Amino acid sequence: MADCIFCRIIAGEIPSNKVYENEYVYAFRDINPQAPVHILVIPKEHIASVGEITPENSVLAAKCMEAVAEIARQENLEGGFRVISNCGKDAGQTVPHLHFHILAGKSMGEKLL
| Residue 57 binds which of ligand AMP, Zn ion, none (CB < 5-8 A, kind-dependent) | none
Active-site residues: which are they? Answer: 99
- Please state the closest distance from residue 48 (CB atom) to ligand AMP, in A: 11
- Please state the closest distance from residue 21 (CB atom) to ligand AMP, in A: 15
4 binds Zn ion per the rule CB under 5 A: yes
Q: Select from 105, 24, 104 the least CA-distant residue to 65.
A: 24
| Residue 32 binds which of ligand AMP, Zn ion, none (CB < 5-8 A, kind-dependent) | ligand AMP
- Which residues make Cβ contacts (< 8 Å) with residue 20, sequence separation at least 6? 26, 27, 41, 67, 70, 71, 74
Q: For the beta carbon of residue 95, count every other beta carbon within 10 angstroms.
A: 15
- Residue from 4, 24, 35, 86 that binds ligand AMP (CB under 6 A)? 86
- Which residues make Cβ contacts (< 8 Å) with residue 100, sequence separation at least 6? 40, 41, 42, 64, 65, 68, 83, 84, 85
Task: Give CA angle at 100 (76, 40), nearest 5°.
Answer: 60
Residue nearest to Zn ion (CB): 4
Question: Where does this chain bind Zn ion (CB under 5 A)?
Answer: 1, 4, 6-7, 46, 97
Question: Where does this chain bind ligand AMP (CB under 6 A)?
Answer: 5, 14, 16, 30-32, 40, 86, 92-95
